[in-house]
Amino acid sequence: MKTTLYRASSRGHANHGWLDTHHTFSFANYYDPNRVHFGALRVINDDIVKGGEGFGTHPHDNMEIISIPLYGALEHKDSMGYTGVIHAGEVQVMSAGTGITHSEYNANEDKPVNFFQIWVFPNKKGVEPRYDQKVFNFIHNKNQLIQIVAPKDDVSNTGLWIHQDAWFNIGTFDKGIGFEYNMRKQGNGVFAMVVEGEFTIEGQKLHFRDGFSISDTDTIKITADSENARILLMDVPMSF
């Protein structure tokens, strides 16, 4: 088993006034040659945007983009004609493919929005751009993992899909609840992000917004160490 610890305090950080952001992997002005990506997982940005502010129209191509609001609401507009608001408890996916432009703004004027923006390298380039979002009942489905993202051809997929053999799960657990996570595909690794509370993964204590990567194993042992502890597991190919 190969593991790497990413303490929350060691992430790249920038405060632009309207945006307070932390980067798990190299992004923008933050560069660490040891933290460029984890397999197909390229970006995990933890963004807090002030009320009424946001990212103006900008381009993407050949990337799978997943946005997960943690509190507040995010307004989305893109060149495909989609306009909408994503709230906490919802997840958005976007396949940039041949190229899109989009903007993301805090949908509220009087309170911030906090969201994860995650980029995954696709398993095919030049696809037709696409957009989707879905509501998930995280709060009322405790002590279990909820699959939010999977490959398109996964028949067990009850959430959203991307162009990659990747599975994302979120779970909220009571203190003391332990479980095992089994890798969904041979050769994949898992990047765990503590969204809230504390967990122990394979003997490693993790706190709020700590990350932990695990590869070269088939099973991972996880225990919640606090009440209402929430974790995000990103199961991605290590080679692609």
Ordered structural domains, the chain, with CATH:
12-135 (2.60.120.10), 145-237 (2.60.120.10)
| Mean pLDDT computed over 76-80 | 93
Cβ neighbourhood burial of 147 (10 Å; 0-12, 13-18, 19+): buried
pLDDT band at 140; cut points 50, 70, 90: confident
On the question of pLDDT at 139 being above 90, the answer is no
- pLDDT confidence of residue 138: 75
Distance of alpha carbon 9 from alpha carbon 97, whole angstroms: 33
Distance of alpha carbon 83 from alpha carbon 106, whole angstroms: 13
| Mean pLDDT computed over 17-42 | 97
- pLDDT confidence of residue 42: 98
Distance of alpha carbon 12 from alpha carbon 10, whole angstroms: 7
pLDDT band at 153; cut points 50, 70, 90: confident
- pLDDT confidence of residue 174: 97
Cβ neighbourhood burial of 240 (10 Å; 0-12, 13-18, 19+): middle
pLDDT band at 240; cut points 50, 70, 90: confident
pTM of the predicted protein model: 0.97
41-49/113-120 β-pairing? antiparallel
On the question of pLDDT at 155 being above 90, the answer is no
On the question of pLDDT at 114 being above 90, the answer is yes
Residues near 230 by beta carbon (within 8 Å), at least 6 away in sequence: 138, 170, 171, 172, 173, 194, 195, 196, 197
- pLDDT confidence of residue 12: 98
| Mean pLDDT computed over 127-132 | 95
On the question of pLDDT at 188 being above 90, the answer is yes
Distance of alpha carbon 24 from alpha carbon 44, whole angstroms: 6
pLDDT tens, residue by residue, 200-218: 999 999 999 999 999 999 9
